[in-house]
Amino acid sequence: MIIRGCSSQPTSAPRSCFSTLFLLPNSNRYSFKKRATTLKHELDVVSCRFNSPPTNFRIQALEANKLDGVKAEGSRTNLQYDHLTWPSPSDKVPFWKREFPSWDISDSGHVDIRKDSDPIHIIHVTAEMAPIAKVGGLGDVVTGLARACLTRGHTVDVFLPFYECINKQHVKELTLISTYGSYHDGSWIPTNVYRGVVFGIPVVFIEPTNHFFKGQSVYGGSYDELEAYLFFSRACLEWLQVSATQPDIIHVHEWQTAGLPLLYWDMYQYLSLQKPRIVLTIHNMEHYGECRQEQLNKCGLDGSVYSTEEKAMDDRTIGHNPERLSLLKGGIVYSNAVVTVSPTYLKETLNSGWLAATLIRHRDKYFGILNGIDTAIWNPATDAFLPAKFDANQIEGKKICKLYVQRGLGLAPEAQDSAKVPLVVCITRLVAQKGLHLITNAIRHVEALNGQMIILGTAPDARVGSEFEGLARLHNEGPSIRILQMYSEELSHMLYAAADIVLVPSIYEPCGLSQMIGMRYGAVPLVRKTGGLADTVFDMDDQSHSEIANGFVFEGIDEGSLNCTLDRAFSFYHEKPNEWRDTVKKVLQMDNSWNNAAGKYIDVYNNVRVKHH
Ligand code: ADP
């Protein structure tokens, strides 16, 4: 990666310048012989007794070694199945809300990863962090990248709003360290600052004593989000000043913290902060951070100063009255380096979209770095939420996971190998970007192909939510489709593990983690060729790239393109079981970890940091 050396200033930053809505059949309980000799036998029993009277059951001494000739993974695992309490749709506590062994991967850094010779101090300023404040991929990326940089010997802190919804049990060593004042709209808001540790990452929590960040979810509280995140951006800089902390890099993410570079270069540089340089990662260009001048005024900047095309004027509003600002555009102009989350998305964003002109102007400091996934958080061999663990060498646990999910959700379990049913899983925010018409079409087509499909998603838009509620009412009592409108980290892990196919039919997708996580859990991806999906999934039927082929890809945004590809994937699954198994093993072994990508970020950090201060 060639990165031009950067001057201390950004290239042209002008200096002053579900209700658990799945209506499951509550009579579908299973009864099983206490001791089944083979899983096939077990499956036959499941199938015969699918409508038998309710009873909880346990499978004892499942001989997983007879599954498809795969060798048993030893007594430890069989013992594990001995004690498996199989779920049922009528369980009082749904299986994804059971108590799980503690989920802490703090110490699971990669010991064999070499330390970088020249440590950097990086502070992420972000609206999301997995798992305590995660809505989508942003939360995963911050946690994964921070952990990878820590492993390589760098100093990393994450600054996060102290959302009321954060489950404090997940934060170790949580301590109030100070209360200071941070500016908002003419007054100084008493602000508490806490320290804590999440998955081994030091986190600074910023808690204003006003109404900001109160509510039951990360986004959508009863406060002005734009003003709250502008406040947060300034409060982070203010805390660095108060605590006399000067990191090498302040790494901001998305529109929520894209106002920070403006505050840094036009305010805090004139106060006491001089050393930090700013890196902005854009995870999704469609969220501009549209901002009125008077909103920007509230954080102490003069909004009128930024109202030019070269600075932060929102190009979509030129000629409108009033013209408005885009925090994301301002962040691009004022940051020392701008990164987006895949090489293909980088090209796409230079070719189209309202920010293309700005990105072209700043091309020299604009990079595409493919996201990784945190392979300790996402590890089917150790995952605390899975009823059975597995990896590429010991794959039979995946079948247990599939059966477990099928039983738990009341889906018809597979009767025998000759009647295998491919399970398609789609875990996503239910928003237009994700290809909603393709997802709803997939429900119909998978059902027509006698497959099974589970959708786990949340819809921020009430109309989309009610459309999927209608589909849930239509399908959720049948044997093959479940539409679960809710957010559940635990269930997402189980679904990736259960899935034969992970579906990502996005209209556009900056990177996409779902397909990478799916592969990590042995699910073959079926994706639309766009953005990061095009950089990570290569079609099985493309002979020119057979060595990297790992899934099924379609290009059109029409239902026909998706249907053909589902047909191809289902035929492959049914007609070439050995090749399918090889593909599952291949995707399980792929390295989409953060280590490689973190190295590219460290190159960026090194090129913009001030070496001798
Ligand atoms: P985006 O960031 O656009 O939402 P990504 O594919 O990059 O899409 O990341 C989505 C992340 O959020 C993945 O970790 C996915 O498993 C998770 N996710 C999405 N919806 C849900 C949900 N309803 N419940 C649990 N996890 C979800």
Kindly give the parts of the chain with pLDDT less than 70: 1-82, 107-111, 415-419, 613
pLDDT value at residue 114: 85
pLDDT value at residue 112: 73
The radius of gyration of the chain's CA atoms, rounded to the nearest angstrom, is: 25
Q: pLDDT of 551-576, one tens digit each?
A: 999 999 999 999 999 999 999 999 99
Q: pLDDT of 422-467, one tens digit each?
A: 999 999 999 999 999 999 999 999 999 999 999 999 999 999 999 9
Note whether 175 and 200 are within 8 A (CB). Answer: no
pLDDT value at residue 566: 98
Global confidence as pTM: 0.86
| Alpha helices (H) along 291-422 | 293-297, 327-334, 343-351, 356-361, 396-409
Specify the residue with its C-alpha closest to ligand 1, atom 4. Answer: 136
Pocket test for ligand 1, best of 134, 286, 491, 492 (most atoms within 8 A of CB): 492
Pairing state between β 249-253 and 277-282: parallel
pLDDT value at residue 416: 55
CB of 286 within 6 A of ligand 1: the answer is: no
Q: pLDDT of 21-34, one tens digit each?
A: 333 333 333 333 33
224-228: Cβ within 8 A, 24+ apart: 224/295, 225/256, 226/289, 226/290, 226/291, 226/295, 226/327, 227/184, 227/185, 227/295, 227/298, 227/299, 228/161
CB of 458 within 6 A of ligand 1: the answer is: yes
What is the widest separation between alpha-carbon atoms in the chain? 77
Pocket test for ligand 1, best of 138, 140, 504, 530 (most atoms within 8 A of CB): 140
CB of 513 within 6 A of ligand 1: the answer is: yes
Torsion of CA 512, 514, 520, 526, to 10 degrees: -90
pLDDT value at residue 20: 31
CB of 430 within 6 A of ligand 1: the answer is: no
Whole-number Å distance, alpha carbon 597 to ligand 1 midpoint, is 20
Note whether 316 and 354 are within 8 A (CB). Answer: yes
The one-letter amino acid code at 574 reads: H
Pocket test for ligand 1, best of 374, 385, 429 (most atoms within 8 A of CB): 429
Atom of ligand 1 nearest to the CA of 134: 12
DSSP per residue, 445-506: HHHHTT-EEEEEEE-SSHHHHHHHHHHHHHHTTSSSEEEEES--HHHHHHHHHH-SEEEE--
pLDDT value at residue 545: 83
